[in-house]
Structure 1
Amino acid sequence: MALEDRYGLPLSTASDQAASAYREGVDLMLSGWTGTAEALERAIAADPDFALAHIARARVHAFYQQGDLARSKAALARELVAISGTERERSHVETLALAIEGRGPDAIAAMFKHVESWPRDAVVLSLPLGAFGLFAFSGMADHDRARHELCQSVAHRYGEDWWFLTMSGWAMTENGDVVRGRAVTERGFDLRRANAHAAHAVLHAMFEDGSIEDADHLVDDWIPTYDRAGILHGHILWHQALGALERGDATRALQIYADVLQPSATQAPPLNAITDGASLLWRLSAYGHSVPKALWVEADAAAQKLFPKSGLPFADVHMALFAAATQNCEALAARLAAIEQRLADGKLPAGPVLPAICRGLAAFADENYAACVRELDPVLAEIARIGGSHAQRELIEDAFLLALIRSGELPRARKLLDARLHRRPSLRDTRWQAAIS
């Protein structure tokens, strides 16, 4: 009898041990749990010719920006699957390899073709989902809707699968159906509590519906079960820090920063490490709280090593925050020049939105609030093009709102705040009320 993955798809290995370790590794990967790499390494050790184990291991390397290792394992997986893999496995390996190589449009096209034939291949379906998935980083302004529609198209294939409920519920939330999205995500979370992606998705729903206390309690109750080395450990506590800021508790937010987000403490993948740190420090400063200059300098130095050159738009925005906050005009000018060149060469999927955001944030840091408004105003409706989630991108809207207030455009600021409260009626946006009144 042929060995299968958890979704009933045949696996080209004769080793029960390899298949079992692969199934475990995939479930750990889909839940953002520790032990993923170790399980996949056991699968490879049990069957060195098992292509799917190699490509899954390559994907984990890619999560941590270990590009050379990821690409070499992807190349080996291609060689192995060409010898002994099925049509489904060859397509699976090729789609993941394209994503690992940074060939986003090709990977998206391959994903659609693959899912049409094998809709229950969850590893391939996971590629476009989430705030850092292929759709989010494609430059699409409507990637939230695209994620939701893709999930809906295959929902009947998954039923009450814990992973699918988690990701489809989050897609609903980000696409604006917060009540339903929270309910679906919580259903998936209840089916598998050892699931960091589920905890994370529920926190996003709570952010959108303004359930700050619920989110705080969720993190306090759940985080002790999750190892600090977990891929989302720091980011989940970043969400708790946002809740602390909603309550005006800067001390708690800084404690969380020091505990899990500061460069000397974080175990997060590079992209999470720089974006979570930069955005939390920026929010603290923008909301009127004191942030020691040394924290910015330390975080900037670490970030420059991780992202020395312009590449990923979401990273570029946060690198602009670092450069602006530390008044590193040379670094900011160099990054902006590289971004503008990529735009001119037609190699910037996010388009003119990215340089405008970077210039706007730099103007904000220089306290040139009128210039910040001028830069951000034309692109505010399309900031989703840089990727990430609503919660992450809200700092750009915050910058625009504060710039309106500080440049004296109070009627426009009130209108923007009213729109936010309409979108999230449970949110107590008290920090803005005094400034506008």
Structure 2
Amino acid sequence: MTTAHELQLSTDADTAALWWAYRDRDLRRLSGTADALRAVLDADPSLAVAHAAAVVEAMFADAPFDVEAELAAARRGNAAQDWERSFVECVLTTASQGMWPARPSWERHHDWFPEDLYGLELVIFLTLMSTDPDAQDAALARALRTQEAVGEHVVLLGFRAMMAQDRHRLDEAEGLASRALALDPSGFLGGHPMAHVYFEAGDHASGAAWLDGWFPGTDQHADFGSHLVWHSALHHLALGNHEIALDRYLHCARRAGPGGLVDGTSMLWRCQMHGLVGPGADPAETPVAQVVAPVVDRVPFTFVGVHVALGLATASDADGLRRFAANAAGFTAPGSAELLPGLARALASYVEGDHAVASDLLLAEEPHFLRYGGSHAQREVVEDTLIQALLRAGRLDEAATRLTARLDRRESPLDTALLARTARPTRPPGPRAGEGGAAGPLRPRPDAGSGRLPR
């Protein structure tokens, strides 16, 4: 069978329809992807690419598939198409050699078959998590090549919107996100970059209100939804709605996957820095320091390692941070040995109250923050930590310089209050860089505060 992207599948039409339904759910980050893939395997147990996909789901998403059994089935399965054979070979290489040694295989697969959105998704993930200085440019180039092959697609619109907002091209990001939402009104691929646009514009009241109105119409069982709750928490933290921000944190902390390991750790650390909870305190039923514990010694990529360090910091575990710094020097994930030890040592000094040393160590890391991976909104927690360390060390001019630069880019009640502590005048209101006029790139939204997202 042939899809709109002209990729043929080595199976009957009914099974092919099940495969593309599974791929649609996976690409749109919806719930039920494992069940949808199992339906494909039940319909045609000989389809090699489906067994390879089961391996990917197990390795990258902890789906309940037997990796060894699926690898064996992929090897002996039916793969009559060139793209299928290439995809299966990439998965076999990943399983046998590891994620990072397999990266060149995934890059070749995308070079040969740019129309394969599954392959694009994986190569972009590896590119963005590689800590390469040009990772964002390389990932965007691959997405644009796929766009040439397949035309307009909500996956590509959403990704391009994310890349635009991270570079503070907010008008472009809002346009791309709006188009993605027009194609898929309840879809995370448009909603996620739109949430980032509100954050980067500093329009926190409108962003919180928009999420309150949009989120209930999304897939409430999808794991990715907890990340949008995290976005709501960021807005409410900035607005001073501390009770709501803490409720949103508790929602993120009790969710599996990135909701706890990434979003929970960074949000709790923010709450501690801004005094919503005390140092070392965690109101979650399962403290995030326990959530990160299983990966302390086996960080798969630097971005996770950053959040492991933050998780240890939330418990004021200076000894654990120093052990993590020592161990990270031997990690094999790209950039980990270079980037994680200094950050971990800085956080150890911070939780011990030695903010002068923490400031020096974080200043040495500052040129490399972009390489940590993730979005600017996710990396900003490290910028926040540096600013807090500088303030507490009495290095007010250095803190003020960074706060002024952020306020030049966007409004922030939090940053304005922090800047006042440095005795430097606050920035007068007006358009920020990347905004489309005094009102910014977004339409006005109603005031926030209803708290209709999960609590």
Q: TM-score, normalised by structure 2?
A: 0.85
From 78, 83, 87, the equivalent of 2:82 is: 87
Counterparts in 2 of 1:414 and 1:77: CA distance versus 1, 3 Å: farther
Deviations 1:269-323 (A, max 9, x none): 2x44211111111101111222582437831453145424242322222222232
Q: 1:152 deviation in Å?
A: 2.7
Q: 1:394 to 1:410 in 2, by over 3 A?
A: same
Query: 1:76 — aligned with what?
Result: 72
In structure 1, what is the equivalent of residue 177 of structure 2? 185
Shift of 1:76: 3.3
* CA–CA separation in structure 1 for the residues paired with 2:39 and 2:348: 48
> Which residue of 237, 260, 263 maps to 1:273?
260
Partner of 1:372, secondary structure, is: helix
Which among 277, 281, 297 is matched to residue 309 of structure 1? 297
Residue pair 1:147, 1:171 contacting (<8 A) in 2 also: no
CA offsets per residue over residues 124-167 of structure 1, 9 Å max, x none? 011133xxx21222121332222222223333223221221111
Aligned to 1:285: 272
Relative to the length of structure 1, the TM-score reads 0.88
CA contact 1:363–1:369 (8 Å) conserved in 2: yes
Deviations 1:221-245 (A, max 9, x none): 2221234431211111000000001
How big is the shift at 1:379?
Answer: 1.7
**2:142 pairs with 1:150:** yes
Which amino acid is the alignment partner of residue 435 of structure 1? R
AA at the equivalent of 2:354: N
Name the counterpart of 2:53: 56
Structure number with higher helix proportion: 1
Alignment deviations for residues 369-424 of structure 1 (CA, whole Å, 9 cap, x no partner): 111111111121212222221111111000101111111111111211222233x3
Q: CA deviation at 1:176?
A: 3.9
Spell out, residue by residue over 1:167-204, the C-alpha distance to the aligned partner (whole angstroms, 9 max, x if none).
Answer: 12212222443321221122112101242232112212
**Structure 2 portions without partners, runs of 5+:** 424-455
Question: Could you say which residue in structure 2 is the equivalent of 1:355?
Answer: 341
Give the superposed CA RMSD: 2.5
Q: Does 1:43 align with 2:55?
A: no
Distance 1:140 1:50, change over 3 A: same
1:323 and 2:312 aligned: yes
For residues 43 and 395 of structure 1, the distance between their equivalents in structure 2, rounded to whole angstroms, comes to 41
Q: 1:305 to 1:352 in 2, by over 3 A?
A: closer
Between the aligned residues of both structures, percent identity stands at 26
Moved more, 244-253 or 199-208: 199-208
Structure 1: runs of 5 or more not aligned: none
Q: State the partner residue of 2:445.
A: none
Asked whether the equivalents of residues 369 and 404 of structure 1 are also in contact (C-alpha less than 8 Å), the reply is yes
Alpha-carbon separation, structure 1, partners of 2:97 and 2:344? 23
Evaluate the alpha carbon distance shift between residue 256 and residue 358 of structure 1 in structure 2; reply closer, same or farther with a 3 A threshold: same
2:371 is the counterpart of 1:385:
yes
Tell me, in whole angstroms, the C-alpha distance in 1 between the residues paired with 2:372 and 2:167. 16
CA distance in 2, matches of 1:161, 1:332: 43
Question: Deviation digits for residues 21-80 of structure 1, max 9, x if unmatched?
Answer: 1111101100001121111111110001112222223323233345x9474365235404
Cα distance in 1 between the residues matched to 2:159 and 2:73: 27
**Is 1:126 matched up with 2:121?**
yes
Equivalent residue of 2:122, what SS? coil
Q: Flag the 1:347–1:171 CA change in 2: closer, same or farther, 3 A.
A: closer
Report the equivalent of 2:446: none
SS at match of 1:293: coil
- For 2:299, the aligned partner's letter is G
Q: Is 2:413 the counterpart of 1:425?
A: no
Alpha-carbon distance in 2 for matches of 1:353, 1:178? 29
Corresponding residue pairs, total: 420
**Contact 1:209–1:427, Cα closer than 8 Å, also in 2:** no
